Each structure stands twice: as C-alpha cells, then as structure tokens.
A = this chain, B = another copy of it.
Amino acid sequence: MSTPRTLEHPDVVELSLDAVLSALADPMRRRIVVQLANGCHDQACIAFELPVSRSTATHHFRVLRLAGIIEQRYQGTAILNTLRSSCLEERFPGLLAAIVGAEAPSSS
C-alpha cells in the first residue's frame, strides 16, 4: 500500500493549445488517441501494440498525459489510459472531434 503511485496531470485551465497540438502532431500519438476515442477506454499501455519499443511507448503516453490529452492511473502494475474528452472539449471545443474524425474515417 503505502502511498499509491500517482502521475502528474495538468489542470483544465492549464491546458495549452501549443502542447496539445504538438502532442497531436505525432502520428504515433494520434494513433493512441484515435484508439482511445474509438471505444477502447481504460486500456493498458501494452494493449495498444504500438510498433515501437516500450521506452518509446512510455514516452508517447507521457507526452499525451502532460499535454492533458489523456489521464493515466495505476491499477496494479498496469496503467489505465483514458481520454480527457470533456476537459479538451471545454478548453478547445471541437478540436478533438475534428482530429479524430479526420484521422479515422472507419467510425460511422
């Protein structure tokens, strides 16, 4: 037990368009976001099966978290990832939907 591990997340008001767009400019990170947006909520990092090493995957998830795009919380040794859709919508209305929609025409 002790203190359960926690991960740093920016507050809603701290979200910067620069950080969000820089994070979303990378194809690998967009892939993660699209996968999360397509109903794969609360997935562990490993479940995404990214074609990169674990170190690189960790890096991408952290960039997304620090940009305020995803929320990460520990569950055992795994980390559950969730899209912070409402935070993003509140701060940058329509942005996430536009990008996910542009990337993944498979939905609908």
Asked if A41 CB lies within 8 Å of chain B CBs, one says: no
Binary B-proximity of A84-103 (CB < 8 A = 1, otherwise 0)? 00000001111101110111
Stretch among A2-10, A20-28, A72-80 lining the B interface: A20-28
Asked if A17 CB lies within 8 Å of chain B CBs, one says: yes
Asked if A49 CB lies within 8 Å of chain B CBs, one says: no
Contact of A98 among B18, B25, B93, B103 (CB under 8 A): B93
Contact of A25 among B25, B27, B93 (CB under 8 A): B25
Given the contacts A22-B25, A25-B22, A25-B25, A17 and B97 also touching, CB distance less than 8 Å: no
Which residues from B are CB-within-8-Å of A17? 30, 99, 102-103
